[in-house]
Structure 1
């Protein structure tokens, strides 16, 4: 986690292949301390007029120069997109799902995405407040629903396959913590 506790300005020089920028997202898993129901993860549906329209993803966005650290960028993005407040000291458990990299077709710039596992606990599932310009719906779904890509009887089409893999890895890590 130390690598992500630094600002973008000290991360990028150590990763010269990243020429476009860094993106973060949060695989947020909520579980009840008294095991009332299975753990659930938050997925949010992209707006119709956005990239990957109507596809599902986890909250996140670009790391900015003003962010104190890469982790603080993830905390900021979660709050901006969902209204949820994440404590980076106790609720961010580390990176999950590997690093995704892609080349932006129009510019040829290389971007990297880091997904962080966030564990929230409490009897009640947290209330989500979406940024409506970017997202149109949200769901708290179980691991089984992610596995079959069908939550609440409505299909889940993820924005990209690595995201689903990271979410499932997050469920596995949370399950190990509970044992």
Structure 2
């Protein structure tokens, strides 16, 4: 597992302040819930920020639950996280290596029950559009040929610098809205999404719509 920084630095859109309260206070204000999950939609518009937006999707490791299915970065909020949004920043870092710089918009809230031997757990997943520090940058990669001392710096666009957690994900893709829609609404798409009837895929389409509304 990736070593996680002690703290994260990011801004939050003012209308999302309710998610910036201490996690314990947030839990008290939602007594019907036992568990919190977070998700992040990270978008790219290419080098010049003018290309059609693409969203980062992750394919779950075959050894994990929902193995082979696609989702977006995210995971469980831990009791040790100071806020729900810190959970979001932590999960993004652990699963992609990216650093959240701004939490922009709430996209969806999903609720489900998780049955355990001892109780029924009520779960809510809060998914947000986020911006990351790495967006629009080039990342230097060092390499050298066999027997040569000179090190060549090879620049790659930030979209290619995703650092997957191997025990959780096996592949990533930057997908267009059409590609997601074809997978959600058609039979020939390349993404099979997590959730009942591919619910998380429909959330991705909602994120594209929310992104247009923010423009």
Deviation, structure 1 residue 166: 1.9
Asked if residue 27 in structure 1 is aligned to residue 27 in structure 2, the reply is no
Matched length = 171
Q: 1:4 to 1:14 in 2, by over 3 A?
A: same
Structure having the higher Rg: 2
Asked if residue 6 in structure 1 is aligned to residue 21 in structure 2, the reply is yes
Deviation, structure 1 residue 139: 0.4
Contact 2:177/2:208 (CA < 8 Å) preserved in 1?
A: yes
User: Whose RCO is larger (CA < 8 A, sep 6+)?
Assistant: 1
State the superposition RMSD in angstroms. Answer: 2.0
* 1:165 aligned residue: 202
Q: 1:33 to 1:4 in 2, by over 3 A?
A: farther
Give TM-score scaled by structure 2 length: 0.73
Give TM-score scaled by structure 1 length: 0.87
State how 1:1-179 maps to structure 2 within 5 Å. 1-19=16-34, 21-32=35-46, 34-87=48-101, 91-97=102-108, 99-106=109-116, 107-119=119-131, 121-122=135-136, 124-126=157-159, 127-149=161-183, 155-160=190-195, 161-178=198-215
Deviation, structure 1 residue 70: 0.8
Query: Whole-Å Cα distance in 2 between the matches of residues 92 and 105 of structure 1?
Result: 31
Gaps of 5+ in 2: 1-15, 138-156
Deviation, structure 1 residue 165: 2.0
Query: Whole-Å Cα distance in 2 between the matches of residues 149 and 77 of structure 1?
Result: 25
Contact 1:44/1:59 (CA < 8 Å) preserved in 2?
A: yes
Deviation, structure 1 residue 33: 7.1
Contact 1:146/1:168 (CA < 8 Å) preserved in 2?
A: yes
Deviation, structure 1 residue 169: 1.6
Query: Whole-Å Cα distance in 2 between the matches of residues 137 and 154 of structure 1?
Result: 16
